[in-house]
């Protein structure tokens, strides 16, 4: 076989692959254009649907996304929750946070009051803790409800025995590390973003006053 016929052979053999690549590429582009927006909406909805239960009195549809930077320059999207009372009063903040749990990463949503001094709620978005033990951190009655009302001005502590005093939360029996990880994640996030949240609230109030 001569080299020229081999070379011509490559293209003549590969034409099908190239044609298929173009057709499939077009199909995928079409799928992405059609389904991309729906997927984005789904991702946003995950957080937005939790707004009413994390911040009391907030309306889901009025939630606004804001990007904040902490002291180290890390950027984070937080959510402003407003009440549906005509004046759009700021009801609170939703702060996404994450960190290492016992098994894998835990992602949570922290609800805070407008001044970022009181935790109003906690929701676990994503976790892979041990089923039957660690994964009870997603249970409202057993674990999450105790976060509401805790002060955000001092770090949360974890207690393994009753009674629970001060800014302590009760760890789940058999899931001490998972409970401790959640407390650490909350503490770290609040420590990093409490001041930026307060600054943003002051800036927003100024903007509103200037408009009036």
Q: Binding residues for other proteins, per CB under 8 A?
A: 13-14, 16-17, 20-21, 24-25, 27-29, 31-32, 35-36, 38-39, 42-43, 45-46, 74-76, 100, 102-104, 126, 130-133, 177
- Whose Cβ is closer to other proteins: residue 133's or residue 158's? 133
Q: Please report how close the Cβ of residue 100 comes to other proteins at its closest, in angstroms.
A: 7
Q: Please report how close the Cβ of residue 67 comes to other proteins at its closest, in angstroms.
A: 10
Number of CB atoms found within 10 A of residue 126's CB = 13
Q: How far apart are CA 208 and CA 203, in angstroms?
A: 9
Q: Please report how close the Cβ of residue 77 comes to other proteins at its closest, in angstroms.
A: 9
- Cis before 115 (ω within 30): no
Q: What is the DSSP string of 159-212?
A: ESSSPP-TTEEEPBTTBHHHHHHHHHHHHHHHHHHHHHHHHHHHHHHHHHHHH-
Which pair of tokens denotes residue 207?
A: 């903007």
**What phi and psi values does residue 161 have, to the nearest 5 degrees?**
-130, 155
- Whose Cβ is closer to other proteins: residue 133's or residue 164's? 133
Which pair of tokens denotes residue 8?
A: 């011509």
- Whose Cβ is closer to other proteins: residue 28's or residue 202's? 28
- Whose Cβ is closer to other proteins: residue 13's or residue 161's? 13
- Whose Cβ is closer to other proteins: residue 39's or residue 202's? 39
Q: Please report how close the Cβ of residue 123 comes to other proteins at its closest, in angstroms.
A: 15
Q: Please report how close the Cβ of residue 188 comes to other proteins at its closest, in angstroms.
A: 14
Q: Please report how close the Cβ of residue 199 comes to other proteins at its closest, in angstroms.
A: 19
Q: Are 138 and 50 in contact (CB under 8 A)?
A: no
Number of CB atoms found within 10 A of residue 187's CB = 18
Q: How far apart are CA 183 and CA 155, in angstroms?
A: 8
- Whose Cβ is closer to other proteins: residue 10's or residue 86's? 10
Number of CB atoms found within 10 A of residue 212's CB = 4
């Amino acid at each position: 076989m001569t080299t020229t016929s081999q070379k011509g052979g490559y293209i003549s053999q590969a034409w099908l692959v190239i044609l298929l690549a173009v057709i499939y590429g077009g199909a995928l582009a079409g799928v992405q254009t059609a389904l991309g927006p729906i997927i984005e909406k789904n991702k946003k909805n995950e957080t937005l649907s939790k707004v009413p239960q994390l911040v009391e009195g907030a309306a889901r549809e009025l939630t606004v996304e804001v990007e904040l930077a902490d002291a180290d320059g890390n950027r984070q999207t937080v959510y402003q929750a407003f009440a549906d009372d005509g004046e759009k009063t700021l009801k609170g903040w939703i702060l996404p946070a994450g960190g290492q749990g016992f098994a894998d990463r835990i992602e949570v949503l922290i609800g805070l009051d407008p001044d970022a001094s009181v935790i109003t709620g906690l929701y676990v978005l994503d976790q892979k803790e041990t089923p039957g033990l660690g994964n009870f951190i997603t249970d409202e009655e057993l674990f999450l409800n105790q976060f509401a009302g805790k002060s955000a001005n001092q770090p949360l502590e974890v207690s393994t025995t009753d009674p629970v005093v001060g800014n302590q939360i009760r760890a789940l029996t058999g899931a001490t590390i998972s409970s401790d990880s959640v407390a650490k994640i909350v503490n770290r996030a609040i420590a990093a973003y409490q001041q930026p949240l307060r600054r943003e609230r002051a800036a927003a109030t100024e903007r509103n006053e200037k408009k009036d």
